[in-house]
A and B are shown apart, each in its own frame.
Chain A
Amino acid sequence: MLGLKDIPIIDIDEKDREVYDKLEKSEEVFHNLDWKDMFIIAVGLGVHKGLRKPIQKRYSGGFFRGSYLREEDEALLATAAVYAESEEVLCDEKKVIKIVEEYAHGGIHELLRWVESSPYETFEKDFEREILKLTEELLKNDETNI
């Protein structure tokens, strides 16, 4: 519906692949996680922290196929792009993908930094705590809007 599934390949920066591998191995919470899901988390963290970095060199193999995206994934990526620029991006799927690739690039490094800077066995609890806090804010805002 949003047309993102039609994008053949979603890319990451060539240097990011190593970061993704590290994260997958370092923390239980990311163990065996789909690249797609970790990519979306990286996009979110990038948006949250305002970390948008242009891709220097695309990873040659491509990161994952657009067809892997589910409708809810499409919605999240489109939301990130609209938030970053304007609703006009909804008519341009490639633009949406470009925006989210840049946020993912910024976000994944921030995530690794966070993991690596956390004392042993504290990241997961901090991560959970932050997620719950953000979720609470989301639901609270929603109540306010209603």
Chain B
Amino acid sequence: MHFRKIVFKNYRQFRNAELVFGEPRTHDIHLIIGKNGTGKTNILNAINWCLYGDELHLHLDSQKLPIYNTATEGNLPRVTVELWLSREDGKKIAFGRERRSTDEVWVMIESSGGFERYSSPESFEKNVNRFIPKEIRSFFFFDGESLDTYFRNFQAVQGKINQLARIDVLEGMKKRFEDLLRDLSRGTDVTGELKAVQENIEKLEGLLAEYKKRIEKLQDEKTQLEEDIKSKEEILRDQPKVRELAVRLKNLEEQRKKVENDLKEKYEKKRKVLIQLAKVAYLGKALQKVLQLAREKRQQDELPPPVNVNLLKEALREEKCPVCQRIIDPVTRSNVENIMKQVEHSSLLANRLLALEQRLYTLKRGVETDVKLLQDLTKDIERLNENLKNLKNEIGDIKNRLSSCDVESIRRLSEELEEMKKIRDSRIEELGKLKAYRDSLEKKLREEEKKYDDLARKRQESEQKQRMYEICCKAKKVLVRTKERVLEEIQKEIEQVTREVFFRLLWKKESFKDVKVKQDYTIEVLDRDGRNCLGSLSAAERELLALSFTLALHSLSGFQGPLVIDTPLARVSDEHRENFAEALLEVSKSKQIVLLLTPAEFSEEVSRVLQPYAATIRWLRMSNDERETSFAKEPWL
């Protein structure tokens, strides 16, 4: 690919600039000349920023500045860099990056119908990788000074070569295989477990078959029993149910005994109540008379007794009146003693009559209660007698029924029937248990079968893994061998191209005999005597060797991108600059080269070599306020 145009908008020094690359005639070389600080390196940075979003070669001064041009008005001006290129097939492709608050990228690809624009970051990255992948960009866009120190860090070079030759892809594949092998080696051997489950299944199947057989046998027995029961029930259908009748008879007899006992008890109670009532009832009139007498006495104030004999007794004992406390003289004492004799008799009578009255009232109240009790007892006795009568009737009936049939035969049949029913019930119970156990066995068997299927699948997977493991091992070996062969070939190719380019471009070919590239990519330049003279090469020779090596790497990578070198001649002494310029000119016959030169590098001698062939010569011109750079065709004087 070749650069056709770079468009800058508000990018650092380049506020609104366009670098157009001229059409090459014989040599595809382009010269951009500018003093230090005018923005040469920022052209390299602009290319990196546009394609990869970073600025690898930013000077310390520029790092402090914003990316946008400081002369631009507005808080956040839009920064744009566009790279326009032409492909080998002549079609154009353009990459663009814009930054305002965030970065937006786009790629435009020319096709038969015009340009097509793709704005997704994925499309952009895909096309950038087709142009020059980020990992190897330092072999295409670099600072010329690095050519001088190119061979100081072979390890870094080796890493880059691996990326260039896609050895990293092989490494990645190898790592992937190793991961895969690790995963595959984790497979577990389930053969033992599978065998155990299979044995368990066989055992369960055996048990299940045995249970099914037992269930079938029990089922047959149950069916037979039911048929026998049915037949016996048929026989007994029209016969008295002797057993039930006997049981009923027994119950009735027990009830009868109880009722008789209850009756006896009630009769006894009733007898006692009746005797108690009889004792009072015959004396009813007498009782009424005594109560009447007591009432009359009370009305006549003879009850309770009008004289308190006790009070009189106290007066005589204490010899003073208990009421007025007057001392009782002998005359009074004699009078009191006479009164006492008279009243003692009437008082005893009244007191006894009073006591009798109270007891008679108590008796009468007792009569009321007893009458009620007697009535209740009579009712109870009637009810019990009725019950007893019914019971006796039923008992008699049952006895009659039992006496009219062949009790013994029916009882035997009934007992046989009961026995059969018991056996049948026990069979049903046993059947239930067996069926439950069978169901549980079936469930367990299903679980084991599922377990077996899972294990079988695991074993299959394991076997598959084993096969894959073996394949991966083989593939890894092939990969390692391939990598070794590729590395060997790369090393040979690099050595061959480096040697070829170096000797083609070298100005004193007789001084050196050969160039060797070792396996670790350390490089040796052998002098005429076959000694390694890398350390004694001039800066120009060293840079030429680095350039040859870089071009070899270009050839290796397959990416035919342009070469953009910042200050390529800075380290080259004056007497060799002309030689090195000629070498670059030679390279530009087959590859686009963009050289970012200082005026000192673009000396008269260099100018004499390069100018006649340069497709583009632009001078970086800085504005008076030093805030903007433009591309001029002529040097600024």
Give the B-binding residues of A (Cβ under 8 A).
Answer: 1-3, 28-29, 31, 33, 37, 40-41, 43-45, 47-48, 71-76, 78-80, 82-84, 87-88, 90-91, 107, 127-128, 130-132, 134-139, 141-142, 145
Contact = CB atoms under 8 A, between A and B. Distances in A.
Interface string B279-299: 111111111111111000000
B281 A1 contact: no
In this complex, which of B284, B362, B366 has the most chain A Cβ atoms within 10 angstroms of its Cβ? B284
Top 5 nearest A-B pairs by Cβ distance?
A44-B282, A83-B286, A75-B359, A134-B281, A138-B284
Nearest to A82: B290
B288 A141 contact: yes
B360 A75 contact: yes
Contact of A72 (B284, B348, B362): B362
B278 interface: yes
B282 A134 contact: yes
Contacts of A1: 352, 355
A1 B357 CA distance: 12
A43 to B, nearest CB: 8
B349 A88 contact: yes
A23 B97 CA distance: 145
Given A44-B282, A79-B356, A131-B281, A37 B275 contact: yes
B374 A132 contact: yes
Contact of B363 (A31, A76, A132): A76
Contact of A87 (B284, B353, B364): B353
B63 to A, nearest CB: 134
B252 interface: no
Contact of A2 (B287, B352, B366): B352
A116 B366 CA distance: 31
A80 B286 contact: yes
A75 B357 CA distance: 8
Contacts of B293: 82, 87
Interface in B325-368: 345, 348-349, 352-353, 355-356, 359-360, 362-364, 366-368
Contacts of A131: 274, 277-278, 281
B271 interface: yes
B371 interface: yes
Nearest to B294: A87
Contact of A83 (B283, B362, B374): B283
Nearest to A137: B284
Contacts, number: 127
Contacts of B360: 75, 79
In this complex, which of B283, B290, B355, B359 has the most chain A Cβ atoms within 10 angstroms of its Cβ? B283
B271 A75 contact: no
A91 to B, nearest CB: 5
In this complex, which of A2, A74, A83, A138 has the most chain B Cβ atoms within 10 angstroms of its Cβ? A138
A120 B246 CA distance: 37
Contacts of A44: 278-283
Contact of A79 (B277, B287, B368, B371): B287
A128 to B, nearest CB: 6
B353 A138 contact: no
A88 B350 CA distance: 10
A47 B349 contact: no
B263 to A, nearest CB: 13
Interface string B374-391: 100000000000000000
Given A48-B283, A131-B277, A145-B288, 19 more contacts: A29-B271, A37-B275, A37-B279, A41-B275, A41-B279, A43-B283, A45-B282, A72-B363, A76-B280, A82-B289, A83-B283, A90-B348, A90-B352, A90-B353, A132-B277, A134-B281, A138-B287, A138-B367, A139-B371
Interface string B285-318: 1111111110000000000000000000000000
Contacts of A82: 286, 289-290, 293, 356
B285 A83 contact: yes
A71 to B, nearest CB: 6
B349 A134 contact: no
Nearest to A138: B284
A1 B371 CA distance: 28
B363 A90 contact: no
Contacts of B290: 79, 82-83, 87
